Amino acid sequence: MTLTKLVFKNITRRRGRFVFTLLGITIGIASFVTFMSMGGSLKKEIYRETAALGANLVVIPKGSCGYEQLSILTGDQMPTNISAAEVTSIRAIKGVTVVPFLAQQSAINNKPVTVSGIEPAATLDFKRWEISAGRYFQSPDENGVMLGSAAARQFELKPGGSVTIRGEILPILGILGETGGRDDATIFLPLPLAQRLFNAADNVSYAAIRVENLAETERYIEEIRVATGLGVVSDKQMLQSVLSIVGTVNITLQMIAAVAVIAAAFGIVNTMMAATYERKREIGILQALGARRRTIFTLFMLESGFYGLIGGLTGVIFGLATATLATPYISQNAFTTLVKGSGSGSLLDLNIIISSIFFSALVAIIAGLYPAWKAARLTPVEAISYE
């Protein structure tokens, strides 16, 4: 017999209570892990999308806030109120390459899909896309669509087929090579076609800009502002404001998870208090057999620590499973589309796994302190006299 074996025998003696307490901590840690890994992949995704956008500056409607900037990265629908005249006047500035986008959403088979109106030649040049099947647009106002690779896979579409957008049947010209970003899940239309389908006149949603001389970024920003009166942000500013939005969401989610873990901790306190009460006489017997207070304390601490360790382990497994399984079903919005885009592989963050198990064990040990202290404080006679 060893102390550990004794702990294990004690803990499994009341199966129902063992299972329910474990379930409590499992759920707490699982929600913690789910939110942590979702938040983590959200951040990674934001960095990736910002890089995939490939812009030094982004021109957005005046008075736009972080949320619009987030929409650019997520492919959400955006207002279209940058006019063709404004795009032209930006183009007149020396040393900038301007690529306008019309960001819209449509649905195929009732599933939402991002639709992007582009200037075919300028965008191809800017994004350096590869074509994996079919062909690219051949004229600026061709009647047809290009599919991102993931969109083609999701809806089982091929060049030669067609898609219906806003009630109009459009031929599929080709499929883009994999980019690893949002573009994969997007359907691209020539700008004039998109503007007609979405009643956008000659307006666009935003414009991505690459500058010739990065050292003079500030000067370009100023020039665009003066020329058009539109909002201009650098890629770094955009990253900052988007990350701060995501950070707020993350903290909120983590607080919810923390509440779940705290509730679970009280479950452990409860179970351990019941155990000290039930085993009062056994504590007395152990003391009569020579157990010191420290041994009794350790016995109970090990028991609650064991809950923490096992609960942490099962919590991590459930949490990762939930994060992996649930993300594709989370409804489309600016925050969650990013997560949707990310592969499940990025959810398996070793840091999160280890810190969650550690966290769980820590919570359980703290939860076990009071009951263990109560148990160790019993005098042998108090414990023996108890029936």
Partner 1 sequence: MNNPIIRTEHAAKTYTVGEITTSALKDVSLEILQGSFTCIVGPSGHGKSTLMHLIGGLDRPSSGKIYIGDTEISTIVNSDLARLRGQRIGFVFQFFNLLQGLTARENIEIAMMLAGVAEPEQRERAEKLLALVGLAEKAGSKPGQLSGGQQQRVAIARALANDPDILLLDEPTGNLDSVAEAEILNLLQALHRQGKTVVIVTHSDEVAKRAERIIRVKDGLIAA
Contact footprint for partner 1 (CB under 8 A): 1-3, 6, 9-10, 13, 281-282, 285-295, 379-381, 384, 387
276 exposure class (CB count in 10 Å sphere: 0-12, 13-18, 19+): buried
- Least Å from the CB of residue 382 to ligand ATP: 7
Q: Closer CB to partner 1, residue 136 or residue 386?
A: 386
Q: Which of partner 1, ligand ATP, none lies near 350, with the C-beta cut-off 5 to 8 A by kind? A: none
Q: Which of ligand ATP, partner 1, none lies near 169, with the C-beta cut-off 5 to 8 A by kind? A: none
Q: Which two tokens stand for residue 175?
A: 């499929």
**Of 352, 355, 277, 264, whose CA–CA distance to 304 is shortest?**
264
Among 18, 373, 385, 387, binds ligand ATP (CB under 6 A): 385
- Least Å from the CB of residue 377 to ligand ATP: 15
The rounded Cα 43 to chain-centroid distance in angstroms is 7
Q: Closer CB to ligand ATP, residue 52 or residue 384?
A: 384
Q: Do 200 and 101 meet the contact criterion of CB atoms below 8 Å apart?
A: no
**Of 320, 339, 319, whose CA–CA distance to 329 is shortest?**
339
Tell me, residue by residue from 322 to 361, as one string, x for binding to ligand ATP by CB under 6 A and - for no binding. Answer: ----------------------------------------
Q: Do 205 and 103 meet the contact criterion of CB atoms below 8 Å apart?
A: yes
**Of 319, 345, 304, whose CA–CA distance to 257 is shortest?**
319
Residue closest to ligand ATP when measured from CB atoms: 385
Q: Which of partner 1, ligand ATP, none lies near 1, with the C-beta cut-off 5 to 8 A by kind? A: partner 1
Q: Closer CB to partner 1, residue 252 or residue 379?
A: 379
User: Residues with Cβ < 8 Å from 89, sequence gap 6 or more?
Assistant: 227, 228
Q: Closer CB to partner 1, residue 51 or residue 288?
A: 288
Q: Closer CB to partner 1, residue 11 or residue 239?
A: 11
Q: Closer CB to ligand ATP, residue 122 or residue 285?
A: 285
- DSSP secondary structure letters along 320-386: HHHHHHHGGGSPP-HHHHHHHHS-GGGG--HHHHHHHHHHHHHHHHHHHHHHHHHHHH--HHHHHH-
Residues that bind ligand ATP (CB under 6 A): 381, 385
